[in-house]
């Protein structure tokens, strides 16, 4: 058993459309633990730091604008293989390609507003937890 911590964030469209409870419930039903959860705003500085690998790409400015456009739910989630388990529950990045039963497959509408963000590795999780929770 490999207990990990990961970072997930319900994006502005997920909050706006009322999916917080169902999304958190899916993580808990999968045997994961929500260690920390906070409703709040993403600052421009946090957004730039979190998405710095995309700087210079055509979608970068829109991504920063979107993620800072409204409240988000920031979470630290832990459990056995938490990174991979959360990624599986979230589904493909593009909601059009996400399987039914995944968070993005059920709630995502378009690529630019795909409901949820999740760390893609233990190293990313550590970095992102530091960005959003200090």
Which pLDDT tens digit goes with each residue over 14-38? 999 999 999 999 999 999 999 999 9
How buried is 112 (Cβ within 10 angstroms: 0-12 exposed, 13-18 middle, 19+ buried)? exposed
What's the pTM?
0.95
pLDDT of residue 131: 98
Which pLDDT tens digit goes with each residue over 68-112? 999 999 999 999 999 999 999 999 999 999 999 999 999 998 888
The 3-state secondary structure of 20-56, one letter per residue: HHHHHHHHHHCCCEEEEEEEECCCHHHHHHHCHHHCC
Backbone angles phi, psi at 119, to 5 degrees: -60, 145
Q: Which positions are annotated as active-site residues?
A: 117
CA 65, distance to chain mean position in Å, is 16
pLDDT of residue 112: 84
């Amino acid at each position: 058993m490999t207990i990990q911590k990961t970072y997930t964030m319900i994006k502005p469209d997920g909050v706006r459309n009322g999916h917080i409870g169902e999304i958190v419930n899916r993580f808990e039903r999968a045997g994961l633990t929500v260690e920390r959860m906070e409703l709040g705003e993403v600052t421009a500085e946090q957004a730039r730091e979190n998405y710095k690998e995309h700087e210079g790409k055509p979608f970068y400015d829109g991504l920063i604008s979107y993620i800072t456009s409204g409240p988000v739910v920031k979470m630290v989630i832990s459990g056995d293989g938490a990174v991979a388990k959360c990624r599986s529950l979230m589904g493909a990045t593009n909601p059009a390609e996400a399987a039914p039963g995944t968070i993005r497959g059920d709630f995502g509408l378009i690529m630019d507003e795909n409901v949820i963000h999740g760390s893609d590795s233990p190293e990313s999780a550590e970095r992102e937890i530091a960005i959003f929770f200090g």
